[in-house]
């Protein structure tokens, strides 16, 4: 299903997304699904029904030619088509998030359904943590999320890229491992995407162990 954590830092962004997907009736599961989709200025990730997400991004890349202003429209068209095929609450609640490089760093935006059968585009704020998940119970990771929030640091405060990547990977690794033990609709493994003004990095974390426990 879905467990996504995104961090909007002062000069950079980080997105971590689990690898589990399921059919609309929850009968077939896979732990090998990448939920991060590259576009020419960053990455796109979605929460909700996988067909709605994949079609929206296909429309965005192939028909809109990656015009980011069209992404909410692509999501709406994909949802309307999917509603003709199935009736399921995940179709209507599907939402997207994307990153974009800017002159001052990297920026996150969310595209979420509003109350008028349309979509609202929102720019994320500095030091905002965006958490999208299927299971609303975060009691096991609440303290870890607070620790992460209290220790958010922009990219420029690190000595090098590796130090920055390792710092946040350790925090997120622990959160994914803990939450996956109580939420069986998410995987403990995840993909993580780091982006600054000039560069980006993608990693896959198998999460067979927790780095903080070494």
pLDDT of residue 25: 64
Q: Are 15 and 43 in contact (CB under 8 A)?
A: yes
For residues 172 and 205, give the distance between their C-alpha atoms in angstroms, rounded to a whole number: 10
HSE at residue 69, side-chain half, CA atoms within 13 A, is 0
| pLDDT at residue 28, rounded to an integer | 53
Exposed / middle / buried, residue 206 (Cβ in 10 Å: 0-12, 13-18, 19+): exposed
Separation of alpha carbons 17 and 176, rounded Å = 9
Structure token pair of residue 75 = 């999501």
pLDDT, position 208:
63
Provide the CATH number for the domain formed by 3-213 in this structure: 3.60.20.10
In the predicted model, residues of the chain with pLDDT beneath 70 are 1, 23-29, 208-214
pLDDT at 1: 67
Q: Name beta bridge partners: 8.
A: 13, 128
Q: What is the pLDDT of residue 26?
A: 58
Model pLDDT, residue 116: 87
pLDDT of residue 209: 46
Give the DSSP H/E element, type plus range, for residue 169.
Answer: helix 161-180
pLDDT tens string 7-56: 999 999 999 999 998 766 655 567 888 999 999 999 999 999 999 999 99
Helix (H, G, I), strand (E, B) or coil at 29: strand
Q: Which two tokens stand for residue 23?
A: 């059919």
Q: How far apart are CA 23 and CA 28, in angstroms?
A: 6
């Amino acid at each position: 299903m879905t467990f996504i954590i995104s961090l909007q830092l002062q000069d950079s962004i980080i997105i971590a997304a689990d690898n589990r997907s399921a059919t609309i009736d929850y009968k077939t599961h896979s732990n090998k699904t990448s939920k991060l989709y590259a576009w020419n200025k960053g990455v796109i990730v979605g929460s909700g029904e996988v067909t709605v997400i994949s079609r929206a991004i296909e429309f965005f890349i192939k028909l809109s030619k990656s015009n980011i202003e069209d992404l909410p429209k692509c999501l709406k068209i994909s949802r309307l088509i999917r509603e003709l095929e199935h009736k399921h609450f995940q179709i209507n609640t599907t939402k997207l998030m994307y990153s974009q490089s800017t002159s001052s760093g990297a920026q996150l935006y969310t595209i979420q359904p509003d109350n008028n059968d349309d979509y609202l585009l929102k720019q994320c704020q500095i030091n905002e943590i965006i958490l999208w998940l299927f299971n609303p119970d975060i009691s096991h990771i609440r303290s870890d999320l607070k620790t992460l929030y209290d220790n958010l640091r922009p990219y420029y405060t690190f000595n090098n890229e590796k130090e920055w990547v390792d710092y946040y990977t350790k925090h997120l690794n622990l959160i994914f491992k803990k939450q996956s033990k109580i939420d069986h609709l998410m995987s403990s493994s995840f993909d993580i995407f780091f982006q600054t003004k000039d560069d980006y990095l993608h990693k896959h974390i198998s999460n067979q162990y927790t780095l903080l426990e070494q």
